[in-house]
Amino acid sequence: MAETIYDVAVIGAGPAGTQAAVSASHQMRHVLVLHSGKVSFSRGRAYWSKSVEIEDAPVFPGIIGPHFAKELMKWMESRPVVDFMLGSEKRKTGIEICDGLVQKLTRNGDLFELQASTKTLKQNTPLEVTCFKSRTVVVAAGFDDKWPDIEFEAGEERLYKQYATVFRYAGNKKGWHVCIRCDGHLHVNEHLALLGVGDYIYEAAIGAQDFTDKITILTNGRPHGMSPSVLEQVKARKINIIETEIKRHIGEKTDLLGFEMVDGTELFFHGFLVDEGLIPNTKFLEGWDYQKDEEGLIVANEDMQMLDSNGEPIPGLFAAGDIISGERNLIATAFALGQEAGLSASDSLRRWHFPH
């Protein structure tokens, strides 16, 4: 059987990757979507809205994260791969969805090679890696939020076990939030705890002011690290800063109520927001010369094409969604950027182009 060479390979099946895949297949391309969902614990950021309904995403009113992920999957499944003739040429169009955590992306001549582990990782067994080939690639792998080191099990190997207690409360109405714009409306006039340090955490406080002015900043044992001008504003707005280390969560089932601090005091809040930064899901790009910002997010041009360090577009390599630098980390933005990337990847495969 002839080896499959896809027109577009999309890495990630969040809103950005799903939209990129649908848009490219709508232009009659043969699309592969590799998503880590079943192979690893990484499910995409939207998945984390476990009991909080997503209210501002197009077409899906009041949907929770796991249902949203299923709907995205159904949307892609509605475009199965079929053969068609373009003139006298036999082609394929549609979306093939494959469980696979992309480990490495390389270029071999005109083609990209994507090495992905396609079976769930098990202890003491080697990775099962499959190689896929494609003419273009859309990177839509997003990022993971950094979680707070409270009741953190450093000895555990897997992230989800290290942060098991934090994850119990994450994405619940009464639990850890990571996006004030997304979840601030749940806490109008309520007392919010913001966890983080530096001027960065004041940005979260600036966002929180649309919902409440009862704000406490918790640094979890670190110096607050704010610059004098920011500190002055924090004081003027009567935002309390508590630098004591947090010992443990105080919760009821999956509801987070507050914290026991190392000095024995107990603090209670209505809402909890962590803003400790992010980890970009771009390990598979190691070895590529591409532009990224100080957080590791990808810099792309207006066609969502990735750029090399000279600012030149990297042929065939596109990116979309939360992984893009300087864009809002929201679902509607991810859809829009995904559409641009999917269409640009598709356009780059056209046989004729306008003369330069």
Ligand X SMILES: Cc1cc2nc3c(=O)[nH]c(=O)nc-3n(C[C@H](O)[C@H](O)[C@H](O)COP(=O)(O)OP(=O)(O)OC[C@H]3O[C@@H](n4cnc5c(N)ncnc54)[C@H](O)[C@@H]3O)c2cc1C
- Interface ranges with ligand X (CB under 6 A): 11-17, 34-37, 42-46, 48-49, 54, 56-57, 101-102, 140-142, 145, 171, 178-179, 182, 281, 284, 321-322, 329-332, 334
**Cβ-based nearer residue to ligand X, 11 or 137:** 11
Q: What is the rounded distance in angstroms from the CA atom of residue 173 to the CA atom of residue 271?
A: 8
**Least distance in Å: CB of 140 to ligand X?**
5
**Cβ-based nearer residue to ligand X, 38 or 161:** 38
3-state secondary structure string, 60-107?
A: CCCECHHHHHHHHHHHHHCCCCEEEEECCEEEEEEEEEEECEEEEEEE
Quickly count: other Cβ atoms within 10 Å of residue 140's Cβ.
Answer: 34
**Least distance in Å: CB of 259 to ligand X?**
20
Query: Is 86 buried (19+), middle (13-18) or exposed (0-12) by CB count in 10 A?
Result: exposed
**Cβ-based nearer residue to ligand X, 99 or 245:** 99
**Cβ-based nearer residue to ligand X, 239 or 342:** 342
**Least distance in Å: CB of 241 to ligand X?**
25
**Least distance in Å: CB of 50 to ligand X?**
8
Query: Is 331 buried (19+), middle (13-18) or exposed (0-12) by CB count in 10 A?
Result: buried
Crossing angle between the packed helical segments 15-26 and 65-77, to the nearest 10 degrees? 10
**Least distance in Å: CB of 46 to ligand X?**
3
**Least distance in Å: CB of 255 to ligand X?**
16
**Least distance in Å: CB of 340 to ligand X?**
13
SS3 content of the chain, % helix, strand, coil (to 5): 25, 30, 45
SS3 337: helix
**Cβ-based nearer residue to ligand X, 23 or 239:** 23
Residues with Cβ within 8 Å of residue 191, at least 6 apart in sequence: 212, 214, 215, 216, 269, 270, 271
**Cβ-based nearer residue to ligand X, 76 or 179:** 179
- Where do the DSSP E strands lie in the chain? 5-11, 30-35, 82-86, 89-99, 101-108, 111-117, 129-139, 143-145, 176-177, 192-195, 215-218, 240-242, 246-252, 255-261, 266-268, 271-274, 278-280, 305-307, 313-319
**Least distance in Å: CB of 131 to ligand X?**
14
What are the structure tokens assigned to 239, written together? 């935002």
**Cβ-based nearer residue to ligand X, 183 or 230:** 183
**Cβ-based nearer residue to ligand X, 18 or 348:** 18
